[in-house]
Amino acid sequence: MTDIRKSIHGEWSSRFAFVLAATGSAVGLGNIWKFPYITGENGGGAFVIVYLGCVLAIGIPIMIAETMLGRRGRQSPINTMKTLTQEAGAESYWHYLGWLGVIAGFLILSYYSVIAGWAIAYVLKAVSGSFSSGDAAQISGLFDEFVKSPVQLVVWHSVFMIATMMVVARGVRGGLEKAVRFLMPSLLILLLLLVAYAMSTDAYQQGLDFMFNPDFSRITGDSVLTAMGHAFFTLSLGMGAIMVYGSYLPKNISIAKTSFLVAGADTAVALLAGIAIFPLVFANGLEPSAGPGLIFQTLPIAFGQMTGGLIFGTLFFILLVFAALSSSISLIEPAVAWLVENRDWSRKKACVLAGVFTWVFGLGTVFSFNIWSDFKLFDRNLFELLDYLTANLMLPLGGFFMAVFAGWIMHKQHAQEELQLDNISFKCWHFLVCYIAPAAVFLVFIHVIGVL
């Protein structure tokens, strides 16, 4: 019964390929760029604990649900939701969930590409020896100067968007799968090397304390929302990226097992990035709350001081670009799959259109770091608004409805047909998606709105 539908876009070649692709999607700028700076802004240890709690109680059950919906529907998230709604005999408006995801993916990619562009620019800075002075003030200054130049940001944003389009245009096996196969392991090795370097600094213990010694007085309603939003963001949940990857998953592969693997790898990379970065922050007298520039200001200092820093620095930023690339392709895949299904376009044409559209929107983020930096709404510039709207609101909302659909709308026996879990595990999962995950999202939202 489980193989009643087939994806017109192809399938992953194996379980390993799916795990790599989903890990490639999950591990990205969110782990290495965003996690350290939001941890720094939200006071460290307590924030990390809330984030880990959200990954476990909300993230993993929803990842299982999202993958399962995708594999059952076997189409782009919009059409998958249409099909599954009919199968469940439910009201037809559930496919708007697919649309919410497509819009969220487009908004996220518009700024994601700009930041990934920074990483490309930093590859060139690293290779040309710009960090070799090892002087903290001078290296942080480099970053401030760089983001002030709209022209440079636009150039690198364009390069990254073109790269994304080229990979997605080649399709499931040719593009997506090949790209991640060797990138992920290399990134892990380089991160471990950075951790080793951080251990050699005097501030290693101070960095660890900051990350793992919780001070709950620093937690506010908004930081809980940020931690929860980040759990969705870092696991690529709530917008259909994992759903569309699930739709290419061959049958008979355990969705629960792969979800644990992916979430585990993703969390490990984020924690390693934090362990590598905070000692460097303290060793060089920088502020953990420096914001989006944090890794671009701290890591180059380390590269400037260590032996072989030129090579390691260059390699690190190259791998960061690839980690970003294996994530960005999943942000646009739902839209591309839908255009291919419904407009009957070639993959290429769908990619170009979606890419150009996203690129134009990304200019807003570019300018929010320079010529429009004074433009603020609710005390946030355009980049911060987009980030808040997508990561903190749209993804949790999308995840909420996916959990509700999987738990309450879909026939239980259909879910079990896909998941093939033993009785107890299935009950556990079902309980989490029916009650815990939706209630947690709901409570955090209510709290932030200020009703509680």
Contact residues toward ligand TRP (CB under 6 A) are 25-26, 28-31, 108, 233-234, 236, 239, 241, 327, 330-331, 395
Q: Which is nearer to ligand TRP, 140 or 267 (CB)?
A: 267
Q: Which is nearer to ligand TRP, 24 or 43 (CB)?
A: 24
Q: Which is nearer to ligand TRP, 139 or 239 (CB)?
A: 239
Within 10 angstroms of residue 222's Cβ, the number of other Cβ atoms is 14
Q: How far is the CB of 435 from ligand TRP (least distance, A)?
A: 24
Q: How far is the CB of 398 from ligand TRP (least distance, A)?
A: 8
Q: Which is nearer to ligand TRP, 102 or 301 (CB)?
A: 102
Q: Which is nearer to ligand TRP, 56 or 90 (CB)?
A: 56
Residue 43, judged by CB atoms within 10 A of its CB (0-12, 13-18, 19+), counts as buried
| CA 125 to each of CA 121, 128, 131, 132, 201: distance values in angstroms, whole numbers, following the listed order | 6, 5, 7, 10, 24
Q: How far is the CB of 300 from ligand TRP (least distance, A)?
A: 20
Residue 280: closest CA among 255, 251, 304? 304
Q: Is the dihedral of CA 261, 267, 273, 275 positive or negative?
A: negative
User: 65 and 403 in contact (C-beta within 8 Å)?
Assistant: yes
Q: How far is the CB of 241 from ligand TRP (least distance, A)?
A: 4
Residue with tokens 């570019």: 366
Q: How far is the CB of 109 from ligand TRP (least distance, A)?
A: 8
Q: Which is nearer to ligand TRP, 113 or 140 (CB)?
A: 113
Q: Which residues of 393-420 are buried (b: 16+ CB within 10 A; e: fewer)?
A: ebbbbbbbbbbbbbbebbeeebbeebbe
Give CA–CA dist 317/311, Å, rounded.
Answer: 10
Q: How far is the CB of 63 from ligand TRP (least distance, A)?
A: 11
Q: Which two tokens stand for residue 265?
A: 């790898």
Q: Which is nearer to ligand TRP, 381 or 390 (CB)?
A: 390
Q: How far is the CB of 406 from ligand TRP (least distance, A)?
A: 17
Q: How far is the CB of 447 from ligand TRP (least distance, A)?
A: 22
Q: Which is nearer to ligand TRP, 242 or 256 (CB)?
A: 242
Q: How far is the CB of 237 from ligand TRP (least distance, A)?
A: 6
Q: Which is nearer to ligand TRP, 66 or 418 (CB)?
A: 66
State which residue has the least CB distance to ligand TRP.
30
